[in-house]
Amino acid sequence: MRRYPRDMTGHGAQVPVANWPGNARIAVQIVLNYEEGSENNILHGDAASEAFLSEITGAQPWVGQRHWNMETLYEYGARAGFWRIHRMLKDLPITIYGVATALARAPEQVAAMKAAGWEIASHGLKWVEHKDMDAEEERAQIREAIRLHTEVVGTPPRGWYTGRCSMNTVDLAAEEGDFAYISDSYSDDLPYWTRAGGKDQLIVPYTMDCNDMRFGIQAGFTNGDQFESYLRDSFDMLYAEGEAGAPKMLSIGLHCRIAGRPGRALALKRALDYMMRHEGVWFATREEIADHWAQEHPPVTWERPSEMDKARFVEEFGGIFEHSPWIAEGACDLELGPTHDTAAGVHSALARVFRTASEAQRLGVLTAHPDLAGKLAEAKRLTAESTEEQASVGLDALTDAERETFTALNEAYTEKFGFPFIIAVRDNTKSSIMAAFQRRVSNDRETEFAEACRQVERIAELRLQQKFGA
């Protein structure tokens, strides 16, 4: 079986209601990354100097050398930028993404974070790339980050964000840490649960767009007005969605050495002042958001179609297309994944197999359907699905005159087309079914065959929606 691990659906069209405290229309979450003193540096045992997220355009690592300009740019974040942002935000609940080795070199700053009541989450052991680390090396670094963080801060971190992560990061972090949340994801505007490290792990997604890192890349912000405007537009869009009953979360990412610069700090202040003038805004730490979400929307354990073996998949979905389990067998062989673990996802897989089948195979599916209000119904030999569907519009309780009309139409239709009249009963009433019957019996066979196939797919869709409770 081919399986595709990425979840391309997420919350989908039915977004869960966040129920933010105080019926807030939006949750605003500010992250301050504290990385200064943990970046690549031969003083830290690294092979070269840092080359990422600084004022130096196109910076390259200096192998075996210290880079004075780069070091002092990072030092600005610790010496000046942090304190400017601290003065601005000390009365707001924000989250620190603290790299453990950076925190160990920042006793004054850690004391100020704690005095402000800020959450201090872990940002890993060092501010370096993890993509080329083998799993055991990265696991060891995660363990050491948790140990050092606890030693420096006094309590273990409840949140985790590596940032420059590998494909193993989320699983390893979930295995090694008892985290209320992990933030190595950019895939949603709301928290969500995923299976990681053998358990249900809450993900509180982070941001790279509402992030001052865009001052450090070529396709980014060049002045404070752009940053402010983008933050305000993002807020306005999400605030409007909250007014419409679908509250979301706005994440804002900051770095001491970037947003701590005067021109950028003032733009940030203007944007936050604008947000504070609105009613129904919940400023929160990521820890608070995670705890709220876990209480309001705890993980739900269920049997996922994409994780079923073929026998179980066919048992569950083999009857969706009437008496045609081969369709479910073919669907199970497709490239399924978490995005197929919905009514729409399973329907897509089943319909693909039906649509690509031969005409003879599709005709077999059509002829497997019973006549409407026909002899099988009278003899109570319909499938449970067909029995319920026909009963839903009263086809199990026809008058003698209605039964005679249906019988005559069934005979004329079947004689002309070679398959029974098929219609998605749940989309109709008894009278609209009768009208469609009388209209469609005059079609040519090609037109009616195509229409019957569409109705078969629609019946399957409605059956799956009922099964999934959609």
Catalytic residues: 369
Q: Is 350 helix (H, G, I), strand (E, B) or coil?
A: helix
Alpha helices in 77-194 (DSSP H): 82-89, 100-104, 107-115, 135-153, 169-176
Q: Following CA atoms 462, 463, 467, 470 in sequence, which dihedral angle do they give, to the nearest 10 degrees?
A: 0
Instruction: Give residue 424's identity as a one-letter amino acid code.
Output: A
Three-class DSSP category at 253: strand
Q: How far apart are the first and last CA of the chain?
A: 26
CA angle 103, 220, 182 (to 5 degrees): 40
Contact 193, 201 (CB under 8 A): yes
List of residues 6+ apart from 63 with CB closer than 8 A: 47, 48
Q: 120 phi and psi, to 5 degrees? A: -115, 100
236, 237, 245, 248: which is closest to 190 by C-alpha?
Answer: 248
Angle, helices 135-153/107-115, rounded to nearest 10 degrees:
70
Q: Are 128 and 103 in contact (CB under 8 A)?
A: no
How far, in Å, CA of 363 to CA of 414, rounded? Answer: 12
Let me know: does 244 contact 25? Beta carbons within 8 Å: no
CA distance 289 to 445: 59
d(CA 225, CA 385): 60
Judging by DSSP bridges, how do beta strands 192-196 and 199-203 pair with one another? antiparallel
User: With contact defined as beta carbons under 8 Å apart, do 366 and 456 qualify?
Assistant: yes
Q: Could you give the CA distance from residue 470 to residue 468 in angstroms, rounded to a whole number?
A: 5
Contacts of 212 (CB under 8 A, 6+ apart): 221, 227, 253, 254, 255, 258, 259, 264, 268
